[in-house]
A and B are shown apart, each in its own frame.
Chain A
Amino acid sequence: MSLVAKRYAQALFDTAVDKNVVDEVFDEFSTVIDLFKSEEKLMNLMLTPSINTSEKKEILNRVYGEESINLYLKNFLNILLDKNRFEYVEEINETFRQLVFPYKNTVEAVVKTAVPLDETLRAALEKNLEKRFDKKVLLKNQIDESIIGGAVVYVGDQIIDGSIKNQLNQMKTQMNSLRL
């Protein structure tokens, strides 16, 4: 994480806490970032030096459209354009999330499964993870057929591996450690 990203993220976080809009800013900032990630052209537009700042702000406003975006977030993105720091926006968002998670006693988690996890199971797993870690858990599902079956959960630097692949690997280790 660069120092620039840390300073901007901290400023946004402090403002959001101060104005009690952490959840709102968090969700909307994530949506905006998802948009920039999926629309590469839009991001390139924002980084083109030949387009002036006011035009870029106008484009952004049109992108938000009718949906009202949090005023503080909007101002923050405009400041990034003014200060010519828009290239850091994704990094700032990541740093901001890392500040928000402990504040909200939340942790991000990923569960890998061989088949898509239906919402009931995902919610049940999220609930049990919250019980286990005593934190709110934001659980995302990723499909990974190489695990064969079962599930693997990644929470921070912890891994809970209940996959068939892992069981087979353990079996392999045990069998290989047998001396003939």
Chain B
Amino acid sequence: METTGLISIDARVMLATLINFLVFFLIIKKFFYGAIKDVITKRQDSIDADITGAEEKNASAGKLKLEYEGLLADIKGKEREIIRDANAEAQAQRQAILDKAHGEAKAILDKANAEIEFEKSKAMNEVKTNIVDLSLFAAEKIIHKEMDQKQHEAMILDFIDKVGEAK
């Protein structure tokens, strides 16, 4: 008996194994290759579809993002516009209120001044009238007291002359 080493190459065993393998390979190829390939293709398609879907979603999300950013910018713009308008309006109202208040204050002042002037003039005139009345009253009394018969007659004579002159 031929002794062999722990590891030896036997051509027949090798051949048999090769044939065994080929047969096995052919059987596998014949009966299972298609199914395996289908599974793999399906899996591949599914993965592709997932990737495409993810890319589309990604693109869509990017578009939405852009849209929202645009809207946000618009909103901010409008917001600034509204604030600016509100400020301008508030400023105008403030000015109008101030103008009105100034106008009213001036009118009140003018009226008060006119009233003061009127009252002053009224008072002055009253004083003047009183002075005139008093002076003439005094004059009347003095004349009445001082007039003697001769003076009366002289005045009447003067009157008679004037009546004769004027026609």
Contacts and interface: CB of A to CB of B under 8 A. Distances in A.
Interface stretch (B7-15, B73-81, B139-147): B139-147
A127 B157 CA distance: 13
Given A125-B160, A180-B125, A180-B128, A148 B167 contact: no
B164 A132 contact: yes
B149 interface: yes
B30 interface: no
B139 to A, nearest CB: 6
Interface string A148-180: 111101000000101011001001100110101
A55 B144 CA distance: 54
A95 to B, nearest CB: 29
Interface in B99-151: 121, 124-125, 128-129, 132-133, 136, 139-140, 143-144, 147, 149, 151
Contacts of A145: 144
B129 A151 contact: no
Interface residues of B, number: 29
B155 A171 contact: no
Given A125-B163, A171-B136, A148 B144 contact: yes
B166 interface: yes
Residue among B121, B128, B147, B156 with max Cβ neighbours from chain A (10 Å): B156
Contact of A148 (B140, B149, B162, B163): B140
Given A149-B143, A160-B163, A176 B132 contact: yes
B153 interface: yes
Nearest to A178: B128
Contacts of B167: 131-132
B37 interface: no
B68 interface: no
Nearest to B166: A132
A64 to B, nearest CB: 39
Given A113-B152, A175-B132, A150 B164 contact: no
B155 A149 contact: yes
A150 B144 CA distance: 11
Given A115-B149, A172-B136, A151 B159 contact: yes
A176 B160 contact: no
